[in-house]
Amino acid sequence: MRMKTVLVTGGSRGIGRAVCEAFSKEGYFVIINYNKSVKEAQTLCDSLKNAVTFRADVSDKEQVAAMVAAFPDIDVLVNNAGVSLFGVFDSVSRESIRELYDVNLFGTLNMTRAVLPSMIRRKSGAIINISSVFGECGASCEVDYSASKAALIGFTKALAKEVGPSYVRVNCVCPGVIDTDMNARLTIEEVESLVESIPLERLGKPVDVANAVLFLASEKADYISGAVLAVDGGLV
C-alpha cells in the first residue's frame, strides 16, 4: 500500500512544525516546505521518520512548480505559510502589504493550482488552508492581515464547490491566539489580557491546530468540505 504524502508550507516552525509532526505520527511521508528557516527545517526533518525538506518561496510560481514536480502525487496539501503585519492601517507601507498578500493569499493560490491537476486526475485529495479567526472578525491594527485571511475563507468555500465533483475536499482552519513566534511581540500584560477574553482561559498551542488539520485530512472528515473550523478556545 502506497504511503500517503502531505506537503506542509511554512512547515519548519510553529503551527507548521506541529502539523508536520502530527502527520508523521500517522504514517505520512512529510514534505517540509520552508523558505528562510534552513536550520529549523533540517532539525525537524531529522526528528521525523519519513520526511524531506524542500526550500521554495510559495509566492514564486516557478519555485512552487519545481517543488510540486518533485513530488507529483500529493495526497494532502496544508497551506500554512504566512506572515503577519502589525500597524495602524494608513501607516503600513505598500511594500509590506504586497509582501503579505504575496505569501498569505497568492502563495496559497500558487500551491493549490500546482497540486490540483494531480488530485483531480486521481479523484482524491484534501487541501487545508490555514486562515485566522481575524479573517472572520477582524483585528484592529492588523487590517491587511485580517483581510488576507478573510480572502482565504472565501477561497476555501468557493473552491470546495468547484472541485467537489472531482472528490477533492477543501477546508479551512482558523486559529485563534496561538503560542508561536508570530505572537512573540506581545507583552506579558497583553497575553494576560487576551487569556482573560478566551473562555478556555489559555493561549492555544500549535498542536491544537495540528489536531484539527489532521482530522480534516482524515477519512473521518470524508463528508466535510468547504468548512471553516475555528480553533480559538471560544474566542470568537
Q: Residues 161-186: pLDDT tens digits? A: 999 999 999 999 999 999 987 777 77
Number of domains in the chain: 1
Residues of the domain holding 217 = 5-231
Nearest-angstrom CA–CA distance, 44 and 52: 9
Does any domain span residue 95?
yes
* CA separation, residue 166 to residues 72, 114, 169 (Å): 18, 16, 9
Does any domain span residue 224?
yes
Residue for grid cell 492588523: 142
Give the confidence band of 107 by pLDDT, cuts at 50, 70, 90: very high
Scored b (16 or more CB within 10 A) or e, 25-38 reads eeebbbbbbbbebe
Does any domain span residue 155?
yes
- What is the predicted pLDDT for the residue at 2? 80
Query: Hey, which residues are catalytic here?
Result: 145
Q: pLDDT: is 140 or 171 the higher one?
A: 171
- What is the predicted pLDDT for the residue at 35? 95
- What is the predicted pLDDT for the residue at 188? 83
Give the confidence band of 25 by pLDDT, cuts at 50, 70, 90: very high
Q: Looking at the predicted structure, is the pLDDT value of residue 141 above 80?
A: no
Does any domain span residue 60?
yes
Q: Looking at the predicted structure, is the pLDDT value of residue 206 above 80?
A: yes
Q: pLDDT: is 92 or 31 the higher one?
A: 31
* Range with the poorest average pLDDT among 4-8, 52-56, 85-89, 154-158: 85-89
- What is the predicted pLDDT for the residue at 80? 98
Q: pLDDT: is 188 or 20 the higher one?
A: 20
Please give the share of the chain, as a percent, with pLDDT higher than 70.
100
CATH number, domain containing residue 52? 3.40.50.720
SS3 assignment, position 178: strand
Q: Which residues lie closer than 8 Å to 141 by C-beta, 6 or more apart? A: 86, 87, 88, 89
Instruction: Report the chain's mean pLDDT, rounded to a whole number.
Output: 94
Give the confidence band of 236 by pLDDT, cuts at 50, 70, 90: confident
* Range with the poorest average pLDDT among 61-65, 86-90, 153-157: 86-90
C-alpha cell of residue 39: 536550520
Nearest-angstrom CA–CA distance, 68 and 66: 6
Does any domain span residue 236?
no
Does any domain span residue 83?
yes
